[in-house]
């Protein structure tokens, strides 16, 4: 059996890294949510992103969820009332 070339070793490392990334994501992701937005809701999302200096909608939504989770029940009910 001959020694592996640097290219072969690098290819195997990339495969290991890719599997590791896929495994990492499978452990981290609980679910994926698709959201359809009305124009006014989309504009509100964009305004919030600009105000917060956040470029990705998913990042802002994640931060808002975690922020809402820290609210007491009364405050959460007040801001989610339609």
Average model confidence (pLDDT) for the chain?
Answer: 91
Residue 26 lies in a domain: yes
The length of the chain in residues reads 82
Q: Tell how many helices (H) and how many strands (E) occur in the chain.
A: 4, 0
Residue 53 lies in a domain: yes
- What is the C-alpha to C-alpha distance for residues 8 and 14, in angstroms, rounded to an integer? 10
Band of the pLDDT at 26, cuts 50, 70, 90? confident
Which residues lie closer than 8 Å to 74 by C-beta, 6 or more apart?
none
Q: pTM score > 0.85 for this model?
A: no
Number of domains in the chain: 1
pLDDT of 21 over the 80 cut:
no
Band of the pLDDT at 74, cuts 50, 70, 90? very high
Residue 1 lies in a domain: no
pLDDT of residue 60: 97
pLDDT of 1 over the 80 cut:
no
Q: 57-69 and 73-80 are packed helices; what angle lies between their axes, rounded to 10 degrees?
A: 140
């Amino acid at each position: 059996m001959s020694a592996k070339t640097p290219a072969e070793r690098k290819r195997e490392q990339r495969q290991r890294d890719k599997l590791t990334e896929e495994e990492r994501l499978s452990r981290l992701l609980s679910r994926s949510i698709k959201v359809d937005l009305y124009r006014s809701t989309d504009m509100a999302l964009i305004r919030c992103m600009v105000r917060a200096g956040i470029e990705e909608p998913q990042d802002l939504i994640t931060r808002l969820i975690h922020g809402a989770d820290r609210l007491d029940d009364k405050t959460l009910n007040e801001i989610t009332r339609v």
